[in-house]
Chains A and B, each alone.
Chain A
Amino acid sequence: MTSQTATTNRSELVVESREMDEKKFRGKVKGTVFGPIIALVIFLSLWQSIPIVFDMKPFILPKPTDVLQAAIDDWHLLWPAIQVTVTESVIGFIISAIVGIWISILLASSRILEVSLYPYAVILQTIPVVAIAPIIVIWFGSGFNSIVIISFLIGFFPVVSNTLMGLNSVDENMGDLFSLYNASKWQTMWKLRIPAAMPYMMSGLKISCTLAIVGAITGEFIAGIGGGRGGLGYAITVAAVQLKTPYLFACAIAGAIFGIGFYLLVSLVSRFMLKSWHESSMKVEK
């Protein structure tokens, strides 16, 4: 726990040691992890006892143990379904990230383009994907391709709106600095606007990664199975028809766990990307 002090001729700089930060960080993690765990335990015990107390059938409200049992018994069905949904939503997310960022850069590089096209992006966003999904199925056939496209469509807009906001939020003085040195439009884009937009871009990606999963599961409801293997959304529709409620719960919970995991992964990547970059991601210090 040493705290080094570096001294220059006249000013001083105190470099907080990394160890100390890590300790503080761990303390914080302990606090933020314990609360939710306790809440979860209470929630699970309530859930476990309610069907017993009120004598409810498992197909109305299964107990957590029923759900777990269903997950284990039907693991040979559940696991492939998870894999399918994960693949679809990750691909949908990656496409929405890449396409979203490029479209934002394109729009931001031309005022005319932005002013004339952005309103339509907003309008497109307000159309419920469920409404256009059947058209997508007509165009691209049921199954994988359509599902990925639906997932992409849902995840795409948050990336565009956030990135665009970031690209337009450049500090005026920094803009002046670049004009003073006669920076070209693209130099300003690559060396100023894009780096300045990074935190916005990353929060857009964080929103879009969970939406991509919602998109994939919704897509599976509509575009079904095509080509043989269905994902979690498809498994849920089947389970609902067959009244296999515990398995339905298992599918939904698997989707949620994947969602949390994916979100954490994207957050981690974003933290890493912004680490050397921005104060905004360094708010832990202070």
Chain B
Amino acid sequence: MGAMQKEVVSFKGVDKIYNTGTVALSQLDLSIHEGEFISFLGPSGCGKSTALRMVAGLGEATKGKVEVFGQNPKELIRNSNDIAYVFQDSNLLPWRTVLDNVVLPLELRGSNKNTRKEIAMRVLEMVGLKDYLKSYPRQLSGGMKMRVSIARALAAKPKLLLMDEPFAALDEMTRQSLQMDLLDIWKKERTTILFVTHNVYEAVYLSSQIAVMSARPGRLSSLIDVDLPYPRDRVTSTFTEYVDLASQSLEYSLNRKELG
């Protein structure tokens, strides 16, 4: 991605200390540009979710500043649908059908009923679920629920898509097919994606950039640009090199913590 791309998300010297005293993030500086697919990779508890929640305006920095499209995220979500969030579990409302779940963001923003349905149908088609409009979440498999959740996030036409370990609970096959779907959507819609994962392979397969984070207090330990063309092949040697590089950075960040 060129240097001229617009900045979408910026962390400037961000600290996050929870009122339990846990220092979740410390001195996080990061600038994310339009059209990037950036993965946050790091050990459990290093503040990945915390960072994502702050971008979505669901939590506030203790020190420093988080900006999205040059604005305070809390302000931004008050006035626009620019940000969507895919939660770790699909987080669907069990009393609503697939269609009604997908329509929810539009409904809350008070958009017209017919446009709502039109948009919902389009995104459900995109994730291959348009035959399940009337199903309830409990009637769907884990992978299908996750796709509904992604469709719901896309329904509001976000410019920024935040995904917190969306595929963590899925089996390998489902995960791989959803990864392909996600890359398709990313290419088509040109959204900026922030993606949290534990999985090095997943990070290398998906992202244009990988932000490796170190454990408590969470900070950015390295930023890797993944210069591989899409669609990526998991068995090429360059792919493996990137996997090794990311694993080493991850290990380094872990060791540093043990030493310090």
Which A residues have a C-beta under 8 Å from some C-beta of B? 6, 8-13, 15, 171, 173-174, 176-183, 187, 191-192, 195, 198, 276-279, 282
CB-CB under 8 A for A277 and B95, given A8-B144, A179-B58, A181-B108: yes
The one of B53, B93, B109, B143 that contacts A174, using a Cβ cutoff of 8 Å: B93
Closest 5 CB pairs of A and B: A277-B95, A181-B108, A10-B177, A11-B143, A183-B108
- Residues on A with C-beta less than 8 A from B84 are 180
Complex alpha-carbon distance, A226 and B139, angstroms: 55
Task: Tell me how far the C-beta of B242 lies from the nearest C-beta in chain A, rounded to whole angstroms.
Answer: 26
B139 close to A10 (CB less than 8 A)? no
Complex alpha-carbon distance, A195 and B95, angstroms: 7
- Residues on A with C-beta less than 8 A from B144 are 8, 11, 13
Asked if B104 is an interface residue, CB under 8 A from chain A, the answer is yes
Asked if B78 is an interface residue, CB under 8 A from chain A, the answer is yes
Which B residues have a C-beta under 8 Å from some C-beta of A? 53, 56-58, 77-79, 81, 83-85, 87, 89, 91, 93-95, 104-105, 107-109, 128-129, 131-132, 136, 138-141, 143-144, 156, 173-174, 177
CB-CB under 8 A for A177 and B95, given A13-B140, A13-B144: no
In the complex, 5 of the A-B residue pairs with CB atoms within 8 angstroms, ordered by the A residue number, are A10-B143, A11-B141, A171-B91, A176-B87, A276-B95
- Residues on A with C-beta less than 8 A from B58 are 176, 179-180
A279 close to B174 (CB less than 8 A)? no
- Residues on A with C-beta less than 8 A from B174 are 10-11
- Residues on A with C-beta less than 8 A from B57 are 179-180
A187 close to B108 (CB less than 8 A)? yes
Task: Tell me how far the C-beta of B50 lies from the nearest C-beta in chain A, rounded to whole angstroms.
Answer: 13
- Residues on A with C-beta less than 8 A from B108 are 178, 181-183, 187, 191
Complex alpha-carbon distance, A176 and B94, angstroms: 16
- Having A9-B128, A13-B139, A176-B85, one finds 4 other A-B pairs with CB under 8 Å, namely A10-B173, A176-B58, A181-B77, A187-B108
- Residues on A with C-beta less than 8 A from B105 are 181
Q: Name the residue in A6, A171, A177, A187 with the highest tally of chain B Cβ atoms < 10 Å from its Cβ.
A: A177
